[in-house]
Chains A and B, each alone.
Chain A
């Protein structure tokens, strides 16, 4: 285990920000921490890095118990803070160099690593520019570059894609996968379920300071829904069609909108072939079809009765 969190509790006054959290993160994983605003994700990260004073519980990183400042351990961790934390009056390269130095790099090694970090985040051509002139997405990428310059074993990213353009977002998600391939362990927090779903092998879902579910994404989805939804866009449909489809045993519900047929079925019921046959038999034409599988969003909805982004 690269990170072990046992019975972690943190209070701010009456507010239980972290409520008896237990997590174990294996080396080489991309670990997703999913939760809505105020769930306690950042607080957990701050406890991991010693920025926040412990309530009670225990944190071990690289099998060392964390207890105040520990330079040796910090050297192998890279943190991408939720709020962009770079100096606007230092160039991109200077920002990365400064953090490289603070992590103990120097000389040629430093220069090389700075180049690599900037290239990795797609900023090599703007290395000499000031972040003042950067777009939000570029600042986010620089924010990441500063955290990976020392090629840490453990990278912690706190909502690294908040408020940015799709292109930068894609770039960032790809870099996470790439860092993972290079052997780093990544802890990734987000309230975008698509991201976590796409990236993470292990996921913990948090709400109000508590871990309400954890496991692989498949395991989590098993937790929910017993049904699937099929949306079919078509022309020339009529109500005999609806009647016929409703007679398929696995179908729970079928409704027809203007040009859209919505079918709710039991999970993994494999009825699509039969449905298509019925449609063509009635003389209607299928324009498009979509099968909606359960998402982490629906997992969250089921577990808490509310949506992730409220």
Chain B
């Protein structure tokens, strides 16, 4: 135990000293990024309080299922976000769209009910105004919420429920910087979250470097010749990199809140917890990569590449919407899981969404450390 503390203490000191490179960068860089991105991209996020999006609605369904969609559109949560205009024909709708009176069209085709019940790709068509990407994204997300409900219902039908009830989900709304409460983060609020998450992910570099230097090679080998056990050495190293990255998190949280006035919501403890879990995850990732590659250069290249990718698909640099199935690869991005959990916490999204994301992160943590342990056994020659 004493030896673990010794390792933590000196690794910590060492990391603090290494100001020129990492630590300063890890605090100054994200703050600068939040500021720059937040300011320059603010037009995309210009609405703080979202005014309803005007949509044209054409329902040609011959069955009964579309009734549920009508009900869905009338739900208070939805009508706050969508101003629905009934239209008589697609042409009329497209005309209004061109004129800019509408931001999007929702079209249910004649076979809508049949499709839903048969399990086909039920046809809710959304056409967006080409210059109003965000508006279109909002509509798509809301409709997606309905479709997940429809899928659930279909499942119930398959399982023999006679009276299907639609389970509308709204949690998914927070996939985009839109919350079910109708509040939307400003660009600074958005980038404060995504950049914090990104910088935590870069924390993987700390642990991979720490493992290379202080466990696998050089000083690490030397430490192994002292009475400390490998377990103690490993634990000490892991804890010290978690500690140092977490301290950066706290500084960034405080700075963005007090200086930039970023909204971190009412439940700061939850935000800190999510951040902590992500710090541990990033750390596990770094340890894993270090153990698997056994090479500092390779590790840092891999981690850098992964963080860029993971940040990108999570919409960390700018909000993105991937087509179809590709959307699911976002769940492989720790950034995405953490961001979703954080946005849902700040903007009062559903709690189960937060828990789901945390559970995903914990699974990844366990996987990383297990792979690291297996790789380590192999690495000792």
Contacts and interface: CB of A to CB of B under 8 A. Distances in A.
A102 B3 contact: yes
A90 B13 contact: yes
Contacts of B228: 71, 102
A53 B3 contact: no
Contact of A103 (B224, B227, B229): B227
Contact of A104 (B221, B227, B380, B381): B227
A74 B227 contact: yes
Contacts of A52: 380-381
A160 B216 CA distance: 21
Interface in B221-253: 221-230
Contacts of A85: 218-219, 221-222
B14 A81 contact: no
Interface string A269-290: 0000000000000000000000
B225 A12 contact: no
A50 B218 CA distance: 15
Interface centre among B6, B18, B222, B228, by most A CB within 10 Å?
B222
B99 interface: no
B17 A90 contact: yes
B225 A74 contact: yes
A299 interface: no
B14 A102 contact: no
A69 B230 CA distance: 8
Interface string B181-196: 0000000000000000
Interface stretch (A93-101, A119-127, A202-210, A252-260): A93-101
A177 B3 CA distance: 32
A193 B35 CA distance: 63
A147 to B, nearest CB: 8
A83 B6 CA distance: 23
B309 interface: no
Nearest to B3: A102
Interface size class of B (residues with CB under 8 A): 20 to 34
A98 B6 contact: yes
B225 A79 contact: yes
A87 interface: yes
B381 A81 contact: no
A114 interface: no
A146 B15 CA distance: 20
B226 A90 contact: no
Given A71-B229, A102-B228, A79 B14 contact: no
Contacts of A87: 10, 14, 219
B167 to A, nearest CB: 56
A94 B222 contact: no
Interface pairs A-B: 7 shortest CB-CB:
A71-B227, A85-B222, A102-B226, A89-B17, A101-B6, A89-B14, A49-B225
13 contacts: A50-B224, A50-B225, A51-B225, A69-B229, A71-B228, A72-B227, A79-B225, A81-B221, A81-B222, A89-B14, A98-B10, A102-B223, A102-B227
Interface of B: 2-3, 6, 10, 13-15, 17-18, 218-219, 221-230, 380-381
Given A52-B380, A75-B227, A85-B219, 17 more contacts: A12-B381, A50-B224, A51-B221, A51-B225, A53-B380, A71-B228, A71-B229, A74-B226, A77-B225, A83-B218, A85-B222, A87-B10, A101-B3, A102-B3, A102-B223, A103-B227, A130-B17
